Amino acid sequence: MGVEIEKKFLLANDGWRGLDAGRMYRQGYLNSEKGRTVRVRSAGERGYLTIKGPAVAGVRSEYEYEIPLADAVEILESLCLRPLIEKRRHRIAFKGFIWEVDEFFADNAGLVVAEIELPAPDTSFEKPFWIGQEVTGDPRYTNAALSRQPYCLWGGQ
């Protein structure tokens, strides 16, 4: 079984900018019911199909498969729920880990979050100075939730 163990954070400042050029992602959901998601993503010149189970303390089952980019684009355009998630992902190495900083656009413009994937839930790690408040347990910050309730509708954030 595939497992994803990740922690998610808001950014404290712009100190991450310029550390990686980033790559554009477009993703949409075929299913985003509580407890499971089925996602299609285009990332640069690659396409992916991902199935995720419910998250408990930042740990959940995850199965990801590469699919032809043309198929991913067609599914995104014709089958996925709206709005699509559009973001630039920056991968930044720091103290033995890769931090993924997602800068959102379109309906989620203005939101920037960082994630770190860990080998075990109790793995210790050092945070870069640009990492702020942890939001791992806040379901609003999942990409599936952002496709249902985009950041532009949050009001006052």
Residues annotated as catalytic are 29
Residue 84 is given by DSSP the state P
User: 106 and 28 in contact (C-beta within 8 Å)?
Assistant: no
d(CA 123, CA 121): 6
Residue 133 identity: Q
CB atoms within 10 A of CB 99: 23
With b meaning 16 or more CB within 10 Å and e meaning fewer, what string describes 42-52? Answer: bbeeebbbbbb
Residue 1 is given by DSSP the state -
Cβ neighbours of residue 94 under 8 Å, at least 6 residues apart? 126, 128
